[in-house]
Structure 1
Amino acid sequence: MAKIAKLEVIPVRAPGQAVDDLDGTVDTVIVRVTDENGVFGIGETDAPPEVVKAFLEMPSAHNWSRNPIDLLIGEDPLGIQGLWQKMYEGTFWPGRRGLGIHAISAIDIALYDLVGKQLGVPAYKLMGGARREKLTPYCTIYPGLAHGRSIRDLMAEIQRQFRTALDIGFRAVKMEVLFYDLVSDRELVDLIHEGRAMLGPDILMAVDFGYRWQNWYDAKWVLDRLGDCDIFFAEATLQHDDLAGHAKLAANSPIRIGGAEAAATRWEILEWLERGKVAVVQPNIARGGGLTEIKRIAELAELHGAQVVPHGWKTGITSAVGRHFQAACPAAPVFEYISPQVFDSVLRRELVSPEPKVVDGFMELPTSPGLGIELNEDLVARWRVDRR
């Protein structure tokens, strides 16, 4: 195996993007790991690009505060799990959770892409092989924050995105209801019923509440009135770190409770499973530890009778990672997929290619080496923040 020769950190930001919304596709930080023969793999993380770049390029201070790039140069990339541990231990002091794990996640993903290309196999085969014959993505439906629009305007946009997703071939969606003070809880119940009526009874439907409630009783009041909507899971109901509230809601809700989209590593997910008692954990693969750690998380979830549905609102790199994750992990019934045909984002649409097709709700297993995607080098050259 050719050894690691170079690691590059590339912050990218699309120009002219609004900062007063909740669109994680407006920027990214790409990590490119290149071997001695010039073969490279790419990964990304959903964290401030300039901050991740600074972390990955910081000088070493001592054994617990090492430069992550220096730890990898000259190493055999095939030992991905060993390299993950080496980076985790070497950045223990400034890392361990949060930004340090976000940065390691991008490197870990890039290593799977690189090694897959070196061996000529898809990345999921490096995770133990396929555990299913086809993939099941769900399409996230997000109309954007209100910004002066009425609730009828937002529902009209949701309906348009519903129709587009179903026309493309999706048979599973997630309705984002980040309406906040624009509607009361009682009105929110009616709007979710309206969303279910738009979809019909045969489409899998999840709902993202955007951390609407401070108290689990209020969340329960709404969920109790949605029993006839056949909702697969309720995401972001309470404040993210309110594990006690999640546990009480999970014990009393007629709908699966999801959470942990901002959690990092299996250790934090364990807290969500044992203290939060959620039925669905949703860590972002590109923030929570990469493919190495999400496989451990999936195995942990199986032991606790839970499922893993990773957060995936980013570029096509993260979308590709989601495909390989679901291929290899049986505890993942669906995975989040941001369709560039449904939600307009130039980075999501143009950063990487090709875009897989959805047919009758399913995608085929990836067959190309590594992640199976190609980076748009011209776009990166135009929009990388550190060279403008």
Structure 2
Amino acid sequence: MKVTRLDVFVIGDGPDIDPDKGGVEPLACVRVHTDGGLSGLSEVFRVPPGVVRATVGGPDTHFGRLLIGQQVTHPERLWQRMWDAVMHTNRRGWQVIILGALDVALWDVYGQMLGRPVWELLGGVQRGPFQTPTGADLAVTPYCTLVSDVWGGEPMFAQQVGRAEQLAALGYRAFKVEPMMSSPADVVELARRFRRALGSKPTLMVDVGYLFHDVPTAARVCRELEAFDVFFFETPFPVDSPAPYAELAARTSIPLAMGEHGVTRWEFLDMMDRGRVSVVQPYMTTCGGLTEAKRVVELARARGALVCPGNWSTQILGAATVHLAAYSPVTPFVEFAPAEVYASPLRRELQAAGFPVNNGTIALPDRPGIGYDLPAEIASRFATP
């Protein structure tokens, strides 16, 4: 079976839905077609659609030249072919993110070709029952990211805690509050309000979105947060240098997390080895694809770190994330942007078409490939120039 065509299409909520309120900005998606009639799907989060269209397409485009006509063998061979082609160009930016999306689509094709779900082909399930809140059936547990319409003070507290209560009533079990663009006191107060409203049972994460620039302030905040059983503290500092992370890690018992923009295993190695980050958060396309994400899992496992993949995007990307989590023995949670609390019609439709969340968990996929079917009607109705 050979690759015959690469297609790009763009979907989004349109200009009337604010991205800061959960709206889906113009999102490029790719399909890899084969002469056997199979095709694989992925999205390309945070890359301008024009860049994707310019580099993915016919045999005259960069990635078309590398993939069209290639035999579909193990995706790692095709990953290496694309990676070798960026040797003298951009090895950390948009080019690698697009490579990662094509890699996910190729895994989708490969799984369909072999009639197996991708997580089995990554190495089979290695999760233990202790990794799920029920301690029984193997499953993937999403944590809900709670982004505000407003930041700081009572409006932020009320909206994020209210959303957590709404989602907990639907069966979700883990939540990440996001006191970004807020004072240190508000960071602590939001965690306090969450515990007061929801109690000690739900898992709580805190993401401050690169809020701090000095270790002493972040350390004071962490000392106060320790009273609220925080599973991880995400991106306290800008991510260009891991040095402050290492300093903070030495001063708090809360695991530190970063990696939403991490590209390739080498950046994750830097986070873990120099930054002492113990929770890394690769996006399945941004990091360089499922091929590279599996390597991140292997490196984290050898260091005693956790991999909690990021996904502040749609459940097209989320489907690939579930497959990595089903394989990984160090992935207790995956990020989930719950459509139930955001003003995005497209987000709701894509979540409904994806893997269902039942009683707070996602069952291991059993369909060949990735197993996410994007209805043509949705792609057409939400098509964006």
Q: Answer whether TM exceeds 0.5 for this pair.
A: yes
In structure 2, distance between residues paired with 1:5 and 1:59: 9
Amino acid at match of 2:168: L
How far, CA to CA, are the matches of 1:302 and 1:226 in structure 2? 27
Question: Displacement of 1:353 after TM fit?
Answer: 4.8
Is the alpha carbon distance of 1:162 and 1:353 closer, same or farther for their aligned partners in structure 2, counting shifts above 3 Å? closer
Distance in 2 between residues matched to 1:363 and 1:139, nearest whole Å? 13
The alpha-carbon deviation at position 7 of structure 1 amounts to: 0.8
Q: Distance in 2 between matches of 1:260 and 1:355?
A: 24
Mapped partners of 1:17, 1:316: distance in 2: 21
Contact 1:68–1:91 (Cα < 8 Å) also in 2 = no
**Partner residue of 1:129?**
124
Contact 1:44–1:105 under 8 Å retained in 2:
no
Rounded Cα–Cα distance in structure 2 between residues aligned with 1:58 and 1:37: 18
Gaps of 5+ in 1: 61-65
Deviation at 1:188, TM superposition (A): 2.9
CA positional deviation for 1:371: 1.5
Correspondence list, 1:273-352, <5 A: 273-351=272-350
- Say which is worse superposed, 326-335 or 359-368, in terms of deviation: 359-368
Q: How far off its partner does 1:52 sit?
A: 2.4
Q: Matched residues in 2 for 1:122 and 1:342: separation?
A: 30
1:54 partnered with 2:48: no
Matched, 1:205 2:204: yes
Q: Is the 8 A contact 1:14 1:346 kept in 2?
A: yes
Q: Secondary structure at the match of 1:83?
A: helix
> In structure 1, which of residues 147, 165, 172 is the aligned counterpart of residue 167 of structure 2?
165
- Higher mean C-alpha displacement, 319-328 vs 2-11: 2-11
Assess if the C-alpha contact under 8 Å between 2:17 and 2:23 holds in 1: no
Q: Deviations over 1:232-274 (max 9, x none)?
A: 0000111121311111011111210111211100011111111
Pair 1:88-2:83 in alignment: yes
Helix, strand or coil at the partner of 2:30: strand
What's the secondary structure of 1:213's corresponding residue?
Answer: coil
Shift in CA distance, 42/352, structure 1 to aligned 2, threshold 3 Å? farther
Q: 1:144 & 1:321 partners in 2: Cα distance?
A: 28
2:62 pairs with one of 67, 70, 79? 67
Structure 1 SS opposite 2:246? helix
The residue aligned with 1:139 is 144
What are the superposed Cα offsets for residues 20-62 of structure 1, whole Å, 9 maximum, x if unpaired? 73857323111100110322110112122222222335987xx
CA distance in 2, matches of 1:123, 1:159: 36
**Cα-to-partner distance string for 1:353-386 (whole Å, 9 max, x where unaligned):** 5343333432211111211111132232344344
Matches within 5 A, 1:35-54: 35-47=34-46, 48-54=48-54
Cα distance 1:30–1:187, how it changes in 2: closer, same or farther (>3 A)?
Answer: closer
Taking a change above 3 Å as real, the CA distance of residues 369 and 204 of structure 1, as seen in their structure-2 partners, is: same
2:157, 2:375 → 1: CA distance?
Answer: 34
Q: Tell me the percent identity.
A: 34
- Whether 2:9 is the aligned partner of 1:10: answer yes
Q: Is the 8 A contact 1:259 1:280 kept in 2?
A: yes
Q: How far, CA to CA, are the matches of 2:364 and 2:96 in structure 1?
A: 28
Higher mean displacement: 91-100 or 39-48: 91-100
- Residues 11 and 296 of structure 1, relative CA distance in 2, 3 Å threshold: same
Question: Secondary structure of 2:237's match?
Answer: coil
Runs of 4 or more consecutive aligned structure 1 residues displaced over 6 Å after TM superposition: none
What pairs up with 1:181-196 in 2 under 5 angstroms? 184-196=183-195
Q: Hey, what's the Cα distance between the residues in 1 that align with 2:57 and 2:358?
A: 43
1:212-223 aligned within 5 A:
212-223=211-222
Aligned partner of 2:110 among 115, 120, 131: 115
> Partners in 2 of 1:240 and 1:187 — Cα distance?
22
Please tell me whether the aligned partners of residues 143 and 173 of structure 2 are also in contact (alpha carbons under 8 angstroms): yes
Deviations 1:120-173 (A, max 9, x none): 221111211112321111111122344xxx732222221221122112211111
For 2:125 and 2:153, locate their aligned partners in 1 and report how far apart those are by CA, in whole Å: 43
| Structure 2: 5+ residue stretches without partners | 128-137
C-alpha separation in 2, matches of 1:381 and 1:354:
15
Distance 2:352 2:86 in 1: 33
**What residue number does 1:63 align with?**
none
Contact 2:6 2:56 in 1 (8 A): no
Structure 1 Cα separation of the partners of residues 343 and 103 of structure 2: 28
Secondary structure of the residue that 1:26 maps to in structure 2?
coil
Cα separation, partners in 2 of 1:20 and 1:109, compared to 1, 3 Å:
closer
SS in 1 for 2:233: strand
Note if 1:364 corresponds to 2:359: no
Q: Distance in 2 between matches of 1:22 and 1:218?
A: 29
- Cα RMSD (Å) of the superposition? 2.1
Would the aligned equivalents of 1:17 and 1:26 in 2 still touch at CA under 8 Å?
no
The 10-residue stretch of structure 1 (321-330 or 192-201) with the greater mean CA deviation from structure 2 = 192-201
Report the 3-state secondary structure (helix = DSSP H, G, I; strand = E; otherwise coil) of the residue aligned with 1:78: coil
Counterpart amino acid of residue 161 in structure 1: R
